[in-house]
């Protein structure tokens, strides 16, 4: 059993660390991937630090950043999240997540996220102003993950996510796998280090009636129409690698204050790499303030040359305990704002229950 555990940890670490070389930033391939909603974060607590929390994320939010952290909280957790994506676009994100403790060291997680595009007018070449009908695309993800914590403060996690993109007459489906590892040490588990490899899967491709059309018989022998099916081009998933580190400083009366600086590097396989840092301040884990800055490496100064989320992010959290003082049971409210390029930023709000 001991040898199996050692191999399990070694395989996970090698998989994540190996991604540093495989998934280095490549701006020449920018825009060639699809399913970019896999990069969207619907949870406010981690969004307030620009999702640079691979080392310290825990509970439901870990399923979006580093699945090794699913069990890195006391007890279980349920979250509901809503975000107004790039505020002036009218697009919103809705998410639901649940993490459950499985024994002393395991945790099982389930997460769902859907994009709401609102009603989009149906237009044709003959009616460019609209036919009077509307449609709304369906972008929906569901993921299930598991993490396990070992005695030497190492936790590993895996997650499988189903991806569905569809309109009324065309759809695409795919599977993505995330894997991660977290290492915690120090007198109060102060030092945290995390690596996660995300969105590894096979190419996706659209199919359906929307890709078929009627055209005259190409031979010309008889005058009748035939139905032809077009094959859409396949597209890759936006794979990436997170490497993060953080350290908790405790001070004040009974060391109830916590100051946590974080740093994170993200290697994107279809765009430039990201580098950023942030800080989180906590008072007795009841009230928290956080902020971060992310920089896209190698980007030019022109507006169109920058990523959508380069710049500042900030947020806060409030925790209302429902049990004894030493209990983790409580309701929490998280909010985050991320500056965007262009549009008017993204607002995230999350309501959660720890139990």
Q: Categorize the per-residue pLDDT at 14 as very low, low, confident or very high, splitting at 50, 70 and 90.
A: low
- Average pLDDT of the segment spanning 58-63: 97
Domain assignment present for 312: no
Q: Using DSSP, state whether 47 is helix, strand or coil.
A: helix
pLDDT of residue 4: 44
Q: Using an 8 Å Cβ cutoff, are 232 and 205 in contact?
A: yes
Residue 212 has pLDDT above 90, yes or no: no
- Average pLDDT of the segment spanning 294-321: 83
Residue 111: other Cβ atoms inside 10 A: 27
The answer to which of 41-50, 221-230, 339-348 has the lowest mean pLDDT is: 221-230
Domain assignment present for 187: yes
User: How many Å separate Cα 259 from the centre of its chain?
Assistant: 25
Q: Using an 8 Å Cβ cutoff, are 194 and 68 in contact?
A: yes
- Average pLDDT of the segment spanning 165-178: 94
Domain assignment present for 327: no
- H or E stretch including 12? helix 2-22
pLDDT, the chain, mean: 88
- Average pLDDT of the segment spanning 253-264: 93
CA distance linking residue 295 with residue 341, whole number of Å: 12
Residue 110 has pLDDT above 60, yes or no: yes
CA distance linking residue 18 with residue 69, whole number of Å: 20
Domain assignment present for 224: yes
Domain assignment present for 330: no
Domain assignment present for 315: no
Residue 332 has pLDDT above 70, yes or no: yes
pLDDT of residue 190: 95
Block residue for tokens 């149906």: 122
pLDDT of residue 253: 86
- Average pLDDT of the segment spanning 176-193: 95
pLDDT of residue 26: 60
Domain assignment present for 348: no
Count of structural domains, the chain: 1
Domain assignment present for 252: yes
Residue 323 has pLDDT above 80, yes or no: no
Structure tokens that stand for 304 in this block = 């169109």
**160 is in which domain, residue-wise?**
2-43+51-80+90-276
Q: Categorize the per-residue pLDDT at 231 as very low, low, confident or very high, splitting at 50, 70 and 90.
A: confident
Buried/exposed 75-85: b ≥16 CB within 10 Å, e otherwise: ebbbbebbbbb
pLDDT of residue 154: 94
């Amino acid at each position: 059993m001991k040898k199996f555990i050692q191999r399990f940890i070694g395989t996970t670490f090698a998989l994540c660390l190996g991604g540093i070389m495989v998934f280095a930033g490549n701006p020449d391939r920018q825009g060639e991937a699809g399913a970019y909603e896999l990069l969207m974060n619907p949870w406010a607590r981690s969004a307030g630090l620009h999702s640079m929390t691979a080392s310290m994320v825990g509970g439901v939010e870990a399923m979006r950043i580093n699945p090794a952290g699913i069990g890195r909280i006391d007890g279980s957790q349920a979250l509901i999240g809503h975000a107004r994506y790039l505020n002036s676009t009218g697009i919103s994100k809705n998410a639901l997540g649940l993490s459950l403790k499985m024994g002393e060291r395991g945790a099982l997680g389930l997460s769902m996220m859907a994009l709401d595009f609102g009603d989009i007018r149906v237009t044709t070449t003959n009616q460019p102003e609209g036919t009077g009908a509307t449609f709304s695309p369906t972008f929906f993800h569901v993921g299930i993950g598991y993490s396990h914590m070992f005695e030497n403060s190492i936790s590993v996690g895996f997650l499988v996510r189903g991806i569905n993109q569809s309109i009324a007459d065309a759809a695409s489906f795919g599977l993505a796998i995330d894997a991660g590892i977290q290492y915690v040490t120090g007198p109060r588990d102060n030092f945290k280090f995390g690596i996660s490899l995300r969105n590894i899967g096979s190419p996706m491709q659209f199919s359906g009636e929307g890709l078929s059309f009627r055209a005259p018989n190409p031979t010309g022998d008889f005058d009748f129409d035939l139905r032809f099916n077009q094959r859409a081009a396949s597209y890759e998933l936006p794979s990436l690698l997170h490497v993060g580190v953080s350290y908790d400083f405790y001070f004040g009366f009974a060391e109830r204050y916590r100051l946590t600086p974080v740093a994170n590097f993200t290697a994107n396989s279809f765009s430039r790499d990201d580098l950023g840092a942030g800080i989180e301040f906590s008072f007795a884990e009841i009230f928290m303030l956080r902020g971060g800055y992310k920089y896209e490496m190698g980007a030019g100064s022109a507006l169109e040359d920058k990523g959508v989320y380069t710049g500042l992010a900030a947020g806060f959290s409030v925790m209302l305990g429902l049990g004894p003082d030493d209990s983790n049971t409580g309701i929490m409210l998280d909010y985050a704002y991320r500056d965007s390029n262009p549009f008017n930023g993204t607002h995230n709000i999350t309501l959660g229950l720890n139990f």
